[in-house]
Amino acid sequence: MKTIFERTPTLKDCPTHYCPGCGHGIAHRLIAETIDELGIRGRTIGIAPVGCAVLAYNYLDVDMVEVAHGRAPAVATGMKRANPDKIIFSYQGDGDLAAIGTGEIIHAAHRGEQITVIFINNAVFGMTGGQMAPTTVLGQVTATTQQGREAANEGYPLQVSELLELLPGAIYVERCALSGPAQIRKAKKAVKHAFQLQLDAAQGLSLVELLSPCPTYWRMTPVKAMEWIEKEMTKAFPLGRLKG
């Protein structure tokens, strides 16, 4: 029996530009389903910066704002303070949030801004050619770590969720993976909970980190990329709810 997956109203019916096996499409669907299930499509504003995440507005049929690299939390702060009745979320990759945007996300969390952050961690700079990102794991080969990342030379992978859980202004932090049906179901619950907290006017920042495959720059098949998340990536980025 053939399974037919129906589109949600928030998920646009259009061809994807993402590479085969990329996790962004899965993340888009989780966000779209959440928005529709909570009935907040008319009051939701999404913010996407530079990177593979930048074209989220092509797929999510809600008001979207494109911002400078790393500045999504700053724009989200202004958007929420000026429109407290709106549901504001940022959609950011690790080359954005964990690199040029590190200061922005830490201070937004430190201030307890009432926003939702969806953080896509695929351990590499995807849009610009597969260079090492702050989240690249030890031993991982990238365009700029041809022999694999070494702690003595490039430092350790940056654990954003662990940093944010220490801040009192961050009320909910959870790390999930997009590496298979069971993990994706857990990710959906986490995304929905993060949006629900803002809908309930809980004071503080919510962040859901999603470990996501990048077969193109991991130089793997989509199946192997999913396996690599489970076997290797979770060693540096353990799954689970860290706070809230």
Within 8 A by CB and 6+ apart from 170, the residues are 109, 112, 164, 204, 205, 206, 207, 243, 244
Q: What's the one-letter identity of residue 13?
A: D
Q: What whole-number distance in Å separates Cα of residue 59 and Cα of residue 84?
A: 25
Give the residue from 130, 167, 175, 163 showing the smallest Cα distance to 149.
130
Q: Find the largest Cα–Cα distance for the chain.
A: 54
Backbone φ, ψ for residue 121 (5° rounding):
-110, 105
Beta 240-243 vs 87-93: how paired, if at all? unpaired
- Looking at residue 50, its pLDDT comes to 87
- Looking at residue 6, its pLDDT comes to 59
For residue 92, what is the enclosing H or E element?
strand 87-93
Within 8 A by CB and 6+ apart from 161, the residues are 119, 173, 174, 175, 207, 209, 237, 242
Q: Within 13 Å, how many C-alpha atoms sit on residue 135's CB side?
A: 33
For residue 216, what is the enclosing H or E element?
helix 215-218
Low-confidence stretches of the chain (pLDDT beneath 70):
1-7
- Looking at residue 240, its pLDDT comes to 98
- Looking at residue 128, its pLDDT comes to 82
Answer CATH for 24-243 from 3.40.50.970, 3.30.830.10, 3.40.50.150, 3.40.50.300: 3.40.50.970
- Eight-state DSSP code of residue 223: H
Q: What whole-number distance in Å separates Cα of residue 157 and Cα of residue 171?
A: 23
Q: What's the one-letter identity of residue 230?
A: E
Q: What is the dihedral sign for C-alpha 179, 184, 189, 192?
A: positive
Q: What whole-number distance in Å separates Cα of residue 15 and Cα of residue 227?
A: 26
Domain coordinates in residue numbering, the chain: 24-243
The tokens for 65 are: 């704002």
- Looking at residue 126, its pLDDT comes to 84
